């Protein structure tokens, strides 16, 4: 159902570098790019993520309660994305691990602009 998610940034070059490296871990690359935004996806027909300078010219701000989640195949992918985000200067919002007993395995982090992100997979229930 979701086609793409867009996050605001005040430094497009810095944000693009962060997502180039982070999303390469799950096989995503740039598929659209203009002067004010960059978009990534695993393939153009799959849901994507983009970062943009706000159209209205005002500063980008983080939405309280807003989070983007990346669905990945394995717990190793979750661990790797979390570690890479922190290596690239992101901040920890919740270490990788199981959440509850439903098989939901997740890690939470923020990008360089403070946007909250999540990497998750469904593993065997506990």
Dmax over Cα atoms in the chain, in whole Å? 48
Given the candidates 3.40.50.620, 3.40.50.150, 3.40.50.300, 3.10.180.10, the CATH classification of the domain at 4-122 is 3.10.180.10
Asked whether the predicted pLDDT for residue 125 surpasses 80, the reply is no
Asked whether the predicted pLDDT for residue 110 surpasses 90, the reply is yes
Residue showing tokens 């983009």: 50
d(CA 126, CA 124): 6
Q: What is the pLDDT of residues 36-58, one digit of tens each?
A: 999 999 998 899 999 999 989 99
d(CA 53, CA 38): 10
pLDDT given at position 97: 97
Under DSSP, the state recorded for 74 is S
For the beta sheet containing 29-33, the strands, ordered from the edge strand earlier in sequence to the opposite edge, are 4-8, 48-52, 37-41, 29-33
d(CA 99, CA 126): 10
Asked whether the predicted pLDDT for residue 29 surpasses 70, the reply is yes
Map out the domains of the chain as residue ranges.
4-122
The number of C-alpha atoms within 13 Å of 73 and in the hemisphere containing its C-beta is 3
pTM: 0.86
d(CA 63, CA 74): 28
Average model confidence (pLDDT) across the chain: 93
Asked whether the predicted pLDDT for residue 124 surpasses 90, the reply is no
């Amino acid at each position: 159902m979701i086609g793409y998610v867009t996050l605001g940034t005040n430094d497009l070059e810095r944000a693009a570098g962060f997502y180039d490296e982070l999303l390469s871990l799950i096989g995503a690359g740039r598929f659209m790019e203009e002067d004010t935004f960059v978009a990534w996806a695993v393939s153009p027909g799959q849901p994507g993520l983009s970062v943009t300078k706000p159209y209205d010219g005002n500063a980008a701000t983080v939405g309280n309660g807003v989070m983007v989640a990346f669905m990945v195949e394995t717990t190793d992918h979750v661990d790797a994305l979390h570690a890479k985000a922190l290596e690239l200067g992101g901040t920890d919002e919740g270490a990788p691990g199981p959440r509850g007993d439903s098989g939901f395995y997740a890690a939470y982090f923020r990008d360089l602009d403070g946007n909250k992100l999540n990497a998750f997979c469904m593993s065997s229930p506990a």
